[in-house]
A and B are shown apart, each in its own frame.
Chain A
């Protein structure tokens, strides 16, 4: 009963982590695709999107089963855990700095306007527009690659690759539908809060799986994951509070940021 309960908790955290991470990345990709489609036409932009999605699907199909069947679980967990730890710490660091006002928040409207200005400089051509195709392809492929890494790593180590893929697919569908409805108003998505949540979960899974890889004995087994999320959440909250205090006290010498940023 307890084992089933802890496994269900771990699975829920996994699904939420994959879904949120995929949502954040897809919002960023959609901003680029919308900018390309609006300025240079939809045909080449959608061809770029379709090609990128096929390339990402090939990566999942090629590497997913290979990782599951041919790499020893212990080694897989160690490498994946370390990868998730690095990845999650990068997300969490950015989210903490943004929440504290030391890094400007990710502004989809500003990024959309920037892409539109860049793409408008170069006039669109008849037939296939390679600029539109390439920008849309790169946007979707690079943002999607992060999703693929998260799906493959979390999915394979927890033996829930199918579930992780479904969670990512649901996020892609949701963002696409909402994006088509609200069109350019992607800035309404609370990206920083979502990135903070994803960062916490990735760091927690990273700690757990890398620990499993070197045979750490986790009290409570899978239940350690939500506990780690809570511990890291408290640390992140304390860091944000300390940095906000430092920003508010000019004598400390930490200046707030105002420039819009990517990433």
Chain B
């Protein structure tokens, strides 16, 4: 797929840094930002739960529920986009 983003002008180093940033953005976020945000939220919720030692086992059961929710949300979003 062709990259339709504008070429960055300027020194070679700046272009390399921008290209490097774009590469990692596409690698991790790409066209599914909800998965990146969802993963961060899942880890954040687990971290908060684990602040209380009594909830560390509960977190083990919450984790797959949250991850499955993120996957379902993203798949549902893709199906909705295709339906439009």
Contacts and interface: CB of A to CB of B under 8 A. Distances in A.
B75 A239 contact: yes
A71 interface: no
Interface of B: 1, 28, 30, 32, 35-36, 38-40, 42-43, 46-47, 49-50, 56-57, 59-60, 63-64, 67-68, 70-72, 74-75, 78-79, 82-83
Given A103-B78, A203-B67, A217-B60, 13 more contacts: A86-B28, A89-B39, A89-B70, A93-B75, A102-B78, A203-B71, A216-B60, A219-B60, A224-B60, A231-B64, A232-B64, A239-B72, A257-B82
A143 B78 CA distance: 24
A214 B50 contact: yes
A210 B62 CA distance: 13
- Dominant SS at the A interface? helix
- Dominant SS at the B interface? helix
A69 interface: no
B56 to A, nearest CB: 4
A97 interface: yes
A215 B50 CA distance: 6
Contacts of A232: 64, 67-68, 71
Contacts of B83: 252-255
A217 B74 contact: no
B30 A90 contact: yes
Interface of A: 78, 81-83, 85-86, 89-90, 92-93, 96-97, 102-103, 203, 206-207, 210-211, 213-219, 224, 228, 231-232, 235-236, 239, 243, 246, 252-255, 257, 262
Given A232-B64, A255-B82, A93 B35 contact: yes
B18 to A, nearest CB: 18
A214 B75 contact: no
